[in-house]
């Protein structure tokens, strides 16, 4: 038998037409176990971020508006120049709010502030930011005021003692430091004169309880400048041929010497000017007492022989500085003295104090002997 011939294999025909999938698509196999883990991890991270964000928002909102009631009243002193951040720290330290950084951010976002320095007494513990801002917006409580009364004729040292007593927060040392530091200025006190005697106006003042030494003293110095302006001291040399400083010195002598009758001030001013013009020593013992560090009392022979620029029995001319704080009437008398020839005056009555004026030394001596015999001095 002939072997069976193998049947010819027909060639495979390629399918014509479009492929089962377009070129831009790639068939995906179902995800395996690793893919599922990645999806779960991503979902977990998203959930964690959401939770953290929600927690942060909740925490911040509780800082802005804390839960629970407000607590006890708290007093806060806000220093001058405090920033919003600084005030926030103060409030947090006192327990008014809990987070200064969040308050600072919130205040800027809300556009609130700035606020005044001072004493705030209406804060409460555990306050919301809005409640704290309400207190800040209302402003600090008005400072308690203090009244300071400086009588005319007091020496500078006496005036500083009165200020110290009337303003418990200030000391004489602080006041003297302020006068010498350049913080206090005067239009009329010469720049080369360190002594402020005579250039703080004696008056009744009302100051804030927390006023600084410089504020108190500048108020008094400015009042003195204003009074001198009103009286024409800016034209002193044209009117009297003497500097404002010389006239204030004369006014201080008048303040310490004048008796009760108001016309005496103008007469004493004239006596001083007449004797200065004549080149005679003034012989005013109030200046001698000032040089000895006293304000009253009898002068002994030894006192009158003390070599001091304030001893106006030994030295001609004016003392080197005023000897007291003169008031308006004495300042007015110094720049507008009475007209008259007088060169001497002597105390003739003590109650009320009044003087006898004359241009005769003989009459002066007679009146002085009579007053001495009657125990006037």
Q: What is the pLDDT of residue 294?
A: 92
- Reduced to 3 states, what is the DSSP secondary structure of residue 139? coil
Q: Alpha-carbon Rg of the chain, whole angstroms?
A: 45
Question: What are the boundaries of each domain within the chain?
Answer: 73-138, 145-230, 233-373
Q: What is the pLDDT of residue 149?
A: 97
What's the fold here for domain 73-138? Answer: Dna Ligase; domain 1 (3.30.1490)
- Print pLDDT tens along the chain (377 aa): 444 555 554 554 545 555 554 555 555 555 556 556 666 565 556 555 544 444 444 444 555 677 678 889 999 999 989 999 999 999 999 999 988 889 988 889 889 889 999 989 999 999 999 899 999 999 998 888 899 999 999 999 999 999 999 998 899 999 999 999 999 999 999 999 999 999 999 999 999 988 999 999 999 999 999 999 999 999 999 999 999 999 999 999 999 999 989 999 999 999 999 999 999 999 999 999 999 999 888 889 999 999 999 999 999 999 999 999 999 999 999 999 999 999 999 999 998 999 999 999 999 999 999 999 999 88
Q: What is the pLDDT of residue 140?
A: 93
Q: What is the pLDDT of residue 2?
A: 43
User: Bridge-partner residues for 357, per DSSP?
Assistant: 345
Q: Is the pTM of this model over 0.75?
A: no
Helix or strand (DSSP H, E) at 78: strand 73-78
Are 123 and 88 in contact, with CB atoms under 8 Å apart?
Answer: no
| CB burial string 325-345: b at 16+ within 10 A, e below | bbbbbbbbbbbebbeeebbbb
Are 327 and 153 in contact, with CB atoms under 8 Å apart?
Answer: yes
């Amino acid at each position: 038998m002939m072997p069976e011939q193998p049947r010819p294999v027909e060639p495979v025909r390629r399918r014509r037409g479009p492929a089962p999938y377009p070129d831009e698509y790639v068939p995906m196999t179902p995800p395996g176990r690793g893919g599922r883990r990645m999806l779960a991890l991503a979902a977990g991270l998203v959930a964690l971020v959401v939770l953290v964000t929600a927690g942060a928002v909740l925490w911040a909102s509780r800082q802005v508006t804390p839960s629970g009631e407000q607590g006890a009243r708290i007093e806060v002193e806000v220093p001058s120049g405090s920033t919003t951040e600084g005030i926030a720290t103060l409030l947090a330290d006192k327990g008014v709010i809990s987070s200064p950084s969040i308050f600072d951010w919130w205040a800027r976002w809300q556009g609130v502030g700035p606020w005044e320095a001072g004493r705030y007494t209406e804060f409460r513990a555990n306050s919301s930011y809005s409640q704290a801002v309400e207190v800040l917006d209302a402003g600090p409580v008005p400072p308690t005021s203090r009244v300071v009364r400086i009588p005319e004729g007091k020496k500078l040292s006496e005036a500083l003692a009165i200020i110290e007593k009337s303003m418990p927060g200030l000391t004489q040392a602080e006041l003297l430091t302020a006068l010498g530091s350049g913080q206090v200025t005067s239009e009329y006190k010469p720049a080369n004169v360190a002594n402020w005697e005579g250039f703080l106006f004696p008056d009744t003042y009302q100051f804030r309880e927390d006023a600084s030494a410089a504020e108190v003293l500048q108020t008094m110095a400015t009042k003195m400048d204003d009074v001198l302006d009103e009286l024409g001291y800016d034209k002193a040399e044209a009117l009297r041929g003497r500097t404002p400083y010389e006239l204030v010195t004369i006014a201080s002598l008048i303040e310490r010497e004048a008796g009760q009758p108001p016309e005496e001030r103008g007469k004493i001013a004239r006596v001083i000017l007449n004797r200065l013009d004549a080149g005679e020593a003034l012989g005013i013992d109030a200046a001698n007492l000032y040089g000895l560090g006293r304000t009253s009392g009898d002068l002994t022979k030894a006192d009158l022989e003390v070599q001091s620029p304030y001893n106006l029995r030994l030295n001609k001319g004016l003392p080197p500085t005023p000897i007291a704080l003169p008031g308006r009437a004495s300042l007015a008398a110094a720049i507008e003295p009475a007209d008259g020839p007088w060169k001497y005056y002597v105390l003739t009555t003590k109650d009320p104090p009044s003087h006898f004026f004359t241009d005769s030394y003989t009459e002066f001596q007679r009146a002085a002997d009579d007053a001495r015999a009657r125990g006037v001095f």
